């Protein structure tokens, strides 16, 4: 089980190293003590595994990128693997096509829905986030969900969504070597802009321990409470 999880982690890392190898330092942040204003819940049903998440570069490669400073990447494991079969096609992966949900109420302010999904192991360096949605929660807090499956996004720009509403499906578009969800909170409404903000989620389980408020960290298995 451990081996497969390590393989999965290195796959996602590979995509990052190939495009960002010049900036492997912790991004400075004035937001380390920030407390999320919005009441966030995990944006998915079922159990997911945190491949990257946390405050240090060792546990979270995103921490070198200012707007993704506190991002998480999550996948689904079953029987120790993220896929069935040989993993050569997206449909082999447990999380591919799984529904993604609004983490809180807000207005959709940006999205992209047309980027083709990658073949596993390959990446798209022209559209790093692939298909994505940005939700304005007010209070200068914006959720970014990325790498949706092509044409799966079911909301429109300007639309108001409620917490838990379906947004689309997990995919493998953008800077992604296998299907996964990327999530982060930032203080600007545009993709790749602004400062990343710590995102504390409410009422979830991390390795079967109930968390009233917490930030998912690398190697945790998480699900909504
Ligand atoms: Zn990511």
- Output the CA 107–ligand 1 centroid distance in Å: 22
CA of 138 to the centre of ligand 1 (A): 23
How far does the centroid of ligand 1 lie from the alpha carbon of residue 209, in Å?
Answer: 24
Task: Indicate the class that CATH gives domain 2-224.
Answer: mainly beta
Q: What is the mean pLDDT of residues 186-194?
A: 97
- CA 217 / ligand 1 centre spacing (Å): 13
Instruction: Name which residue leads in pLDDT, 177 or 6.
Output: 177
- Whether residue 20 is predicted with pLDDT greater than 60 in this model: the reply is no
pLDDT-based confidence at 24, cuts 50/70/90?
Answer: confident
Q: To the nearest whole number, what is the mean pLDDT of the chain?
A: 92
For residues 150-162, average pLDDT: 98
CA of 15 to the centre of ligand 1 (A): 10
| The pLDDT value given to residue 110 | 98
- Three-state helix/strand/coil letters over the chain: CHHHHHHHHHHHHHHHHHHHCCCCCCCCCCCCCCCCCCCECCCCCCCEEEEECCCCCCCCHHHHCHHHCCCEEEECCECCECECCCCCCHHHECCCCCEEECCCCEEEEEEECCCCCCCCCCCCCCCCCCEEEEEECCCCCEEEEEEECCCCCCCCCCCEECCCCEEEEECCCCCCCCCCEEEEEECCCCCCCCCEECCCEEEEEECCEEEEEECCCCCCEEEEC
CA of 161 to the centre of ligand 1 (A): 23
14: pLDDT confidence band, cut at 50, 70 and 90?
very low
């Amino acid at each position: 089980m451990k081996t497969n999880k390590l393989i999965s982690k290195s796959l996602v890392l590979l995509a990052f190293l190939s495009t960002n190898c010049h900036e492997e330092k912790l991004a400075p942040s004035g937001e380390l003590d920030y407390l999320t204003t919005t009441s966030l819940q995990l944006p998915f049903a079922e159990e997911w595994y945190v491949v990257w998440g946390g405050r240090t570069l060792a546990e979270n490669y995103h921490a070198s990128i200012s707007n993704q400073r506190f991002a998480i990447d999550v996948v689904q494991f079953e029987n120790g693997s993220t896929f069935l079969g040989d993993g050569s096609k997206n449909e082999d992966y447990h999380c591919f096509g799984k529904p993604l949900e609004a983490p809180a109420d807000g207005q959709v302010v940006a999205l992209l829905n047309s980027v083709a999904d990658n073949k596993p192991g390959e990446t798209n360096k022209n559209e790093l986030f692939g298909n994505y949605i940005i939700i304005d929660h007010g209070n200068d807090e914006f959720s970014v969900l990325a790498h949706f499956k092509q044409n799966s996004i079911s909301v429109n720009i300007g639309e108001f969504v409620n917490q838990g509403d379906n947004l689309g499906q997990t995919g493998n578009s953008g800077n992604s070597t296998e299907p996964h969800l990327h999530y982060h909170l930032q203080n600007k409404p545009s993709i790749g802009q602004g400062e990343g903000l710590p995102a504390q989620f409410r009422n979830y389980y991390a390795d079967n321990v109930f968390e009233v408020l917490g930030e998912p960290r690398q190697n945790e298995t998480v699900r909504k409470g």
